[in-house]
Structure 1
Amino acid sequence: MQLFIGGACAGKRDAVRSRFPGACWHSAYDGKALEAWRESLPRQGVVVLEGWERWLAAWLVEEPADDSLRERLRTLLANWRDLERETAVSVLLILPEMGRGIVPIDRAERRLRDLAGWLAQDAAACCEAVWYVRHGLVHRLSADVPTA
């Protein structure tokens, strides 16, 4: 797995498109539920999962327990790592970096920010490569072998 992370409009999508032109995209911005990701799964190649802030916000409405949500996300990450081991498919995550700036006053907005941060930490721990995108510039943060 690989992770591209950065702020809003930082150039994450453009960076992924230029590096993986034939990738299959599964996006919350197209109204797709994350749970339907298998529908976008190619037989081989790269599948890109983006729109996490929308998926996370919807889950936060359904689930009051943050620990349950984090465990759900960890399970998804583990499933994708297993998928990569068993097939010729590579999973690529595009995540928003929400940890900078003003902490929201609204409790729901803080929960979203917290969950996005936990997802980013957990994804970074199990991805082969982590890329930070800012101002359209892509910087590799990690080349370590996943530990999770």
Structure 2
Amino acid sequence: MQSVIGGAYSGRRRLAAERFPRAGWHRLVKGEGAEECLVGHAGRDVLVVDGLASWLSAALAEIPDDDALRETWLRLLDGLVAAPCEAVLILDEMGRGIVPMDPAARRLRDHNGWLAQAAVERSRTAWYMRHGLCKQLK
């Protein structure tokens, strides 16, 4: 698995498209797991998975227990690691360390940060994008 992390409109998708021009793309939607990501992409060497932040936001609304939520996104990541193709995750960096006052917004940023850490830990390569500039971190 590989990860590309950065803020909104930082160039993450462009980087993935340039590095993996023949990749299949899948945008996660509410309730999907790794198996649904792979449907329709059989035979591809690379699958780019996008939409993790909106998927996580929807999961937050449905799963009030933080431990159960963590298990949900860990299952997703582990399923993508085990996929028959190389998964490239487009991850969102949120807030650059600014902590929101709203508890729901804080919970989203917390889980997004934990998810990103777990994804990068499982990735063999990780890139950070900022202002269209790319730095390989791992």
Percent of pairs with identical residues: 46
The corresponding residue for 1:38 is 38
- Give the alignment's TM-score, normalised by structure 1: 0.85
**Superposition deviation, residue 101 in structure 1:** 4.7
Moved more, 94-103 or 105-114: 94-103
User: Which residue among 87, 107, 131 is the counterpart of 1:135?
Assistant: 131
Structure 2 counterpart of 1:25, which letter?
W
How far is the alpha carbon of 1:103 from its aligned partner?
1.4
Matches within 5 A, 1:1-148: 1-28=1-28, 34-35=32-33, 36-83=36-83, 87=84, 89-142=85-138
> Once the two structures are superposed, what CA deviation does each residue of 1:112-143 show, in whole Å capped at 9, x if it has no partner?
1011000001011110001001111111101x
Is contact 2:23-2:44 (8 Å) kept? Answer: no
User: How many residues are paired up?
Assistant: 136
Quick one: structure 1 residues 71 and 47, their matched pair in 2 at CA, closer, same or farther if it must change by over 3 Å? same
1:145 counterpart residue number = none
CA contact (8 A) 1:25 1:40 kept: no
**Unaligned ranges ≥5, structure 2:** none
Residue 44 of structure 1 and its aligned partner are, at CA, apart by 2.7
Q: Measure the CA separation in 1 of the matches of 2:129 and 2:78.
A: 24
Q: Aligned partners of 1:32, 1:119: CA distance in 2, in Å?
A: 16
Aligned residues of 1:3 and 1:123 also touching (Cα < 8 A):
yes
Structure 1 gaps of 5+ residues are: 143-148
Equivalent-residue separation in structure 2 for 1:99 and 1:40 (angstroms): 34
RMSD: 1.6
TM-score, structure 2 normalization: 0.90
